[in-house]
């Protein structure tokens, strides 16, 4: 495998591998992702069963029930489970992480046309490591991959990245609320941390393209203002020796490792005490917040 992406990732904080999957491969994964979406839609609210999680939102933007995210769908989809630890993935990851690799996140992100909750404000993913103390070398041997399952550009809210600033540590962006709520216009917030808004690069990806970024790369994405969804599969990998207590094996000594009998703690810290299944009352949407305020005012 050509290792241009290794140099680019270190230099710029992101790298795009064009045509990572061929047309037939990406078509198959897209079909499987539709099955995951359909499963999520069966739930009236966000739902957790161990690491499997569906975020379900009644989105006022398009007046529909949307599933903006599914986590660890590999537990219910054998095709996607194999693809998270495919030889092609190993060939991309091994030059960066070595032969022993664990996986921390396995997510599908859908942006439904017209949805209100389809944007992600600029942030660094290291913010979502709730136990950073359990990882070593977060700046170097932890990375995320985003697989485009359909065409994505500015119109349907493709990923945006800021090259270079990944070397500067954690900068604290978007901390005044959730990343899917608040003001999308972050010009002054970016300037405050020394980033000129003109440095933001809008990615355009064809189905089967793969983008890599680090936990310190500043990134986000705009709303979907098109009539097409945007389907991105995000997987997060770490060098196994840097994460003895978190994550599922993906590759051990270069060999692909399937999910075992019992899930390991990845991002959901309450896995052992509170495995579910249960529904989760969302509290982060504007609508949930104002309903809560009304309830409080009534008592
Ligand atoms: O789906 C996207 O466009 C970005 C999501 C993201 O950055 C995140 O969940 O941390
Ligand atoms: Fe992110």
Q: What is the pLDDT of residues 114-126, one digit of tens each?
A: 999 999 999 999 9
Mean pLDDT, rounded, for 163-183: 90
Query: How do 230-239 and 101-111 pair as beta strands?
Result: antiparallel
Residue 221 binned pLDDT confidence (cut-offs 50, 70, 90): very high
Helix (H, G, I), strand (E, B) or coil at 50: coil
- Nearest bound ligand to the CA of residue 105: 1
Q: Give the pLDDT confidence score for residue 179 in this predicted structure.
A: 85
Please compute the mean of the pLDDT values over residues 213-241 and round it to a whole number: 97
Q: Which residues line ligand 1 (CB under 6 A)?
A: 109, 120, 125, 159, 219, 221, 232
pTM: 0.97
Residue 1 has pLDDT above 90, yes or no: no
Q: How confident is the model at residue 24 (pLDDT cuts 50, 70, 90)?
A: very high
Can you tell me which atom of ligand 1 is nearest the CA of 219? 7
- The whole-angstrom separation of Cα 67 and Cα 284 is 15
Report residue 299's pLDDT band, with 50, 70 and 90 as the boundaries: low
Q: What percent of the chain has pLDDT over 70?
A: 100
Q: Which atom of ligand 1 has the smallest separation from the CA of 111? A: 1
Ligand 1 centre to CA of 233 (Å) is 10
Q: Give the domain CATH number at 100.
A: 2.60.120.620
pLDDT value at residue 23: 98
- b/e per residue, 160-169, with b = 16+ CB within 10 A? bbbeebbeee
Residue with tokens 């899917």: 180
Spell out the residues 6+ positions from residue 233 whose beta carbon is closer than 8 angstroms to its own.
Answer: 29, 33, 80, 107, 108, 109, 146, 147, 149
State mean pLDDT over 153-177.
95
Mutate to test the pocket of ligand 1, among 220, 229, 284 (most ligand atoms within 8 A of CB): 220
6/93 Cα distance (integer angstroms) = 9
C-alpha to C-alpha distance for 232 and 207, rounded to whole angstroms: 9
For ligand 2, the distance from its centroid to the CA atom of residue 208, given in whole angstroms, is 20
Over range 13-29, report the average pLDDT.
Answer: 98
**Closest by alpha carbon to 97, among 247, 262, 281?**
247
CA of 90 to the centre of ligand 2 (A): 22
290 has a pLDDT exceeding 90: no
Q: Which of 109, 125, 200 to mutate to test the pocket of ligand 1 (most atoms within 8 A of CB)?
A: 109
Going by C-beta distance under 8 Å and a sequence separation of 6 or more, which residues neighbour residue 272? 265
Which of 51, 59, 50, 74 has the alpha carbon at shortest distance from 233? 74
State the pLDDT confidence band at 224, using cuts at 50, 70 and 90: very high
| Contacts of residue 256, Cβ cutoff 8 Å, sequence gap at least 6 | 82, 85, 86, 87, 90, 250
Q: Count structural domains, the chain.
A: 1
The mean pLDDT value of the chain amounts to 96
- Burial string for 35-74 (b: 16+ CB within 10 Å, else e) reads ebbebbeebeebbbebbbbbbbbebebeeebbbbbbbbbb
Q: Ligand 1 centre from 120 Cα, in Å?
A: 6
Which ligand lies nearest to the CA atom of residue 160 in the structure?
A: 1
What is the 234 CA–ligand 2 centroid distance (Å)?
Answer: 9
How many A from CA of 106 to the centre of ligand 2? Answer: 13
**Rounded Cα distance, 295 and 278, in Å:** 23
* In the predicted structure, residue 177 carries a pLDDT above the cut 80: no
Rounded to whole angstroms, the Cα distance separating 239 from 9 reads 16
Distance CA 236, CA 226 (A): 28
Residue of higher predicted confidence among 298 and 19: 19
Distance of CA 234 from the midpoint of ligand 1 (Å): 8
* Rounded Cα gap, residues 85 and 289, in angstroms: 39
To test the ligand 1 pocket, which listed residue (118, 120, 124) has its Cβ within 8 A of the most ligand atoms? Answer: 120
User: Contact, 66 vs 117, CB < 8 A?
Assistant: yes
Report the residue among 175, 234, 235 best suited for mutation to probe ligand 1: largest number of ligand atoms under 8 A from its CB: 234
Answer whether 223's CB lies under 8 Å from 151's CB.
no
Closest ligand 1 atom number to CA of residue 157: 3
Atom of ligand 1 nearest to the CA of 107: 9
Upstream peptide bond of 277 is cis (omega within 30 degrees of 0): yes
- Its domain, for residue 261, covers 4-298
Q: How many CA atoms lie within 13 A of 137 on its CB side?
A: 14
Query: Does position 33 have pLDDT exceeding 70, yes or no?
Result: yes
User: CA 21, CA 83: separation in Å to the nearest integer?
Assistant: 11
């Amino acid at each position: 495998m050509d290792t241009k992406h290794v140099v680019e990732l270190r230099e710029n904080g992101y790298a795009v591998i064009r045509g990572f999957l061929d047309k037939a491969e990406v078509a198959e994964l897209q079909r499987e992702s539709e099955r995951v979406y359909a499963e999520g839609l069966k739930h009236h609210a966000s739902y957790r069963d161990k690491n499997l999680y569906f975020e379900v939102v009644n989105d006022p933007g398009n007046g529909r029930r949307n599933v903006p995210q599914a986590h660890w769908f590999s537990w219910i989809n054998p095709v996607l489970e194999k693809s998270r630890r495919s030889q092609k993935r190993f060939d991309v990851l091994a030059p960066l992480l070595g032969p022993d690799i664990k996986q921390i996140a396995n997510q599908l992100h859908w942006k439904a046309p017209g949805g209100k909750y389809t944007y992600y404000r600029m942030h660094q993913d290291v913010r979502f490591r709730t136990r950073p103390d359990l990882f070593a070398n977060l700046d170097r041997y932890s990375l995320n991959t985003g697989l485009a399952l359909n065409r994505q550009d500015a119109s349907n809210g493709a990923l945006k990245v800021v090259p270079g600033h990944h070397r500067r540590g954690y900068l604290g962006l978007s901390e005044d609320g959730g990343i899917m709520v608040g003001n999308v216009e972050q010009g002054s917030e970016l300037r405050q941390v020394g980033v000129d808004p003109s440095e933001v690069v809008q990615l355009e990806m064809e189905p089967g393209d793969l983008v890599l970024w680090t936990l310190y790369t500043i990134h986000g994405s705009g709303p979907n203002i098109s009539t097409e969804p945007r389907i991105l599969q995000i997987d997060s990998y770490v060098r196994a020796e840097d994460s003895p207590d978190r994550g599922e094996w993906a590759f051990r000594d270069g060999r692909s490792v399937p999910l075992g009998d019992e899930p390991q703690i990845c991002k959901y810290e309450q896995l052992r005490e509170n495995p579910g299944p249960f529904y989760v009352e969302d509290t982060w949407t504007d609508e949930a917040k104002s309903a809560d305020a009304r309830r409080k005012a009534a008592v």
